[in-house]
Chain A
Amino acid sequence: MDENRKEVAKRRTDQMVINEGIRKGDKVLDLGCGRGSLLELLIREKKVQGLGVDLDPAKIIHCVRKGIPVYQGDVDEALAMFEDQSFDRVILSRTVEHLNEPGRTIEEALRVGRRATVGFINHGFWINRLNYVLKGSRTVNDVYPLPWYESAPVSFFSLANFEEFCSKKNILIRQRACLDANWRNECNFFPNLFSGYVICDISK
């Protein structure tokens, strides 16, 4: 059950970046909250009023144990219950790639939240490209450890794809943090090619 240690290290930077953008006392909705480790950090550091959403009952139990309000259910169903602008921030951290209609959910997140934070793996990252070009094969690494035939459906997209989507939908990217291959340090040199992970703070 324990998360891969490398994975945890990667999450840490991701969480720190998200934490920086949150104001004290914000109302935060974390879609795909997992065991609630990000919300736990935000509640501790920023005294946010947090709510998590996840489908996995085992993860729900972790959140309940930590005292983090959590709703077991589908992300779209959870968003539908809230009125416009009910939250200061909606977080989609490594959630978007698993959604059925990512675009619709992101727009819905911006209806329910004044801002949204979307964290995603950049599939334009050069190693991912090389794997396709040289091996003709999808990347298998510690983020995607399972071969395609054992893993849940994932939509691969790049930073360029995301930016194109935002401009098409009139979504403003207020801030962008591009992390390097190990998700440790910022990487702003041709990020669509060299960045492994991207966190965007968006609003309408």
Chain B
Amino acid sequence: MPNCSTDRPWDTHGNVGIVDPQDFHSPTPFKFENGQQIPELNVRYETYGTLNPERNNAILICHALSGDHHCAGYHKSAQKPGWWDNMIGAGKPIDTEKFYVISSNCLGGCQGTTGPSSINPETGKPFNRTFPRLTIRDMVRAQKLLLDHLNISHLHAAVGGSMGGMQVMQWMTDFPDIPERVLILASTARQSTQAIAFNEVGRSAIHQDPNWNKGDYDAENGPDTGLAIARMMAHITYLSDQGLERKFGRDRRQESKSLTEVEFEVESYLRHQGKSFVNRFDANTYLHFTKALDIFDLYGDENDLTQAFKNVQSRVLAVGFTSDWLYSPEENRDIIRALLRIGKKASYAEMEAELGHDSFLLESQAYFELVRAFLNGPGKEVPSNG
């Protein structure tokens, strides 16, 4: 939690302060895994800390479905910090005194990196329904172009939770010599049937919205209702039974007089989540991201995760959270089991947490100590004498 006791929270100890997003513009066509391309690519990103002269202290942060490049510090005149401000900063587990932290908005996103709502320079209109089908691998290839642009060929670590965890796994399989450490939080090597099922309900809510128009809607007049419902439902999957119980119980906001009025606190909370999401998110991006999650499957046609991992060189740590039922501890264990079976340097840790999938975003002493231990521990080399 940000320290709210001051009017200038960006000045509090450990905070990275006021940050400005930057843009990397690649004027050449970007080709997607499915063969389609977009004429040019923009990647919006932020960095915190300082790149050392050896250029080997960079940590890449990969965001989850609803995240973006702004993960620490404050934008000018903003009241809320980036989404992982508790984790990233001076003296924090991802320590900006030591590391150069890079975080970019994913390809297909809606916060500055080229996505369905970006203007296609060839037509002068938003891509909307013409935006190519997207995969986790495409996201990672866009991040690779950004690293090339920043002249960084070695990562101290790649770190990601949930959809970000999928990206860092793609990193270690596609570019085995780049990340020295890979930290996977609350993720999976293959989207489960249940997770696909939930995503499909969300997508259906968007498809059924009269404003959707098969994806060709105006920015001002999008399928907001559908997107809000998708978000409300998805948000439940990020929490847990006991977490909701503890936060809201059966507390009532008011005695409702009609069937449509908010009655329970939890209803009010979810409606707020839906409404505020619509203000910052694009429905087409939501459709693309959830599809990219659903088709992600490192087990491949042979149903063998060890095949995907055979070239991995990074030291890997996966962390499962006990109450996470979206990407369960078992799914995180499976990642590490596959790596260990083929003799890779991998570890699995499990955190006692009550708040479901989103627990990876919350501060806890053991969790933060673990992240710090991993990032400061040995890299690819085995521990040496002394």
Query: Quick one: which of B336, B366, B374, B383 contacts A71, CB cutoff 8 A?
Result: B336
User: A44 near B385 (CB under 8 angstroms)?
Assistant: yes
Residues of A59-118 at the interface with B, using a CB-CB cut-off of 8 Å, are 60-73, 81-83, 86
> Does A129 reach chain B (CB closer than 8 Å)?
no
Q: Given contacts A57-B350, A68-B383, A82-B340, could you give 5 more A-B pairs where the C-beta distance is less than 8 Å?
A: A43-B382, A61-B370, A64-B349, A66-B383, A70-B347
User: B348 near A73 (CB under 8 angstroms)?
Assistant: yes
> Does B345 reach chain A (CB closer than 8 Å)?
yes
User: A61 near B377 (CB under 8 angstroms)?
Assistant: no
> Does B3 reach chain A (CB closer than 8 Å)?
no
> Does B23 reach chain A (CB closer than 8 Å)?
no
> Does B280 reach chain A (CB closer than 8 Å)?
no
Contact status of A67 and B340, CB under 8 A, knowing A60-B347, A72-B349 = no
> Does A19 reach chain B (CB closer than 8 Å)?
no
> Does A176 reach chain B (CB closer than 8 Å)?
no
> Does A130 reach chain B (CB closer than 8 Å)?
no
Q: Which 7 A-B pairs rank lowest in CB-CB distance, beginning with the nearest?
A: A67-B378, A65-B373, A81-B337, A64-B373, A67-B377, A67-B383, A60-B349
User: A63 near B341 (CB under 8 angstroms)?
Assistant: no
> Does B64 reach chain A (CB closer than 8 Å)?
no
Which residues of the other chain, B, contact A44 by a CB distance below 8 angstroms?
383-385
> Does A47 reach chain B (CB closer than 8 Å)?
yes
A70–B384 Cα gap in the complex (Å)?
18
> Does A27 reach chain B (CB closer than 8 Å)?
yes
Q: How many residues of B contact A (CB 8 A)?
A: 28
Residues of B339-366 at the interface with A, using a CB-CB cut-off of 8 Å, are 340-341, 343, 345-352, 366
> Shortest Cβ distance from B19 into chain A, in angstroms?
30
Contact status of A63 and B347, CB under 8 A, knowing A44-B385, A47-B382, A58-B366 = yes
> Does A177 reach chain B (CB closer than 8 Å)?
no
Which residues of the other chain, B, contact A49 by a CB distance below 8 angstroms?
343
Jot down 17 A-B pairs with beta carbons below 8 A, ordered by A: A27-B343, A43-B383, A44-B383, A58-B366, A60-B349, A60-B370, A61-B370, A65-B374, A65-B377, A66-B378, A67-B378, A70-B347, A70-B348, A71-B347, A72-B348, A81-B340, A83-B341
User: B370 near A64 (CB under 8 angstroms)?
Assistant: yes
Contact with A along B315-348 (1 / 0, CB 8 A): 1010000000000000001001100110101111
A69–B342 Cα gap in the complex (Å)?
13
Query: Quick one: which of B333, B337, B347, B350 contacts A69, CB cutoff 8 A?
Result: B347
A64–B373 Cα gap in the complex (Å)?
6
A81–B374 Cα gap in the complex (Å)?
24
Chain B minimum-CB-distance residue to A27: B343
A72–B320 Cα gap in the complex (Å)?
10
> Does A51 reach chain B (CB closer than 8 Å)?
yes
> Does B376 reach chain A (CB closer than 8 Å)?
yes
> Does A186 reach chain B (CB closer than 8 Å)?
no
> Does A26 reach chain B (CB closer than 8 Å)?
no
A61–B350 Cα gap in the complex (Å)?
10
User: A69 near B377 (CB under 8 angstroms)?
Assistant: no
> Shortest Cβ distance from A18 into chain B, in angstroms?
18
User: B349 near A81 (CB under 8 angstroms)?
Assistant: no
> Shortest Cβ distance from B315 into chain A, in angstroms?
7
User: B346 near A69 (CB under 8 angstroms)?
Assistant: yes
User: B373 near A69 (CB under 8 angstroms)?
Assistant: no
> Does B304 reach chain A (CB closer than 8 Å)?
no
> Does B97 reach chain A (CB closer than 8 Å)?
no
> Does A180 reach chain B (CB closer than 8 Å)?
no
> Shortest Cβ distance from A178 into chain B, in angstroms?
32
Which residues of the other chain, A, contact B349 by a CB distance below 8 angstroms?
57, 60-61, 64, 70, 72
> Shortest Cβ distance from B335 into chain A, in angstroms?
12
Residues of A96-151 at the interface with B, using a CB-CB cut-off of 8 Å, are none
Query: Quick one: which of B317, B341, B345, B369 contacts A82, CB cutoff 8 A?
Result: B341
Chain B minimum-CB-distance residue to A52: B347
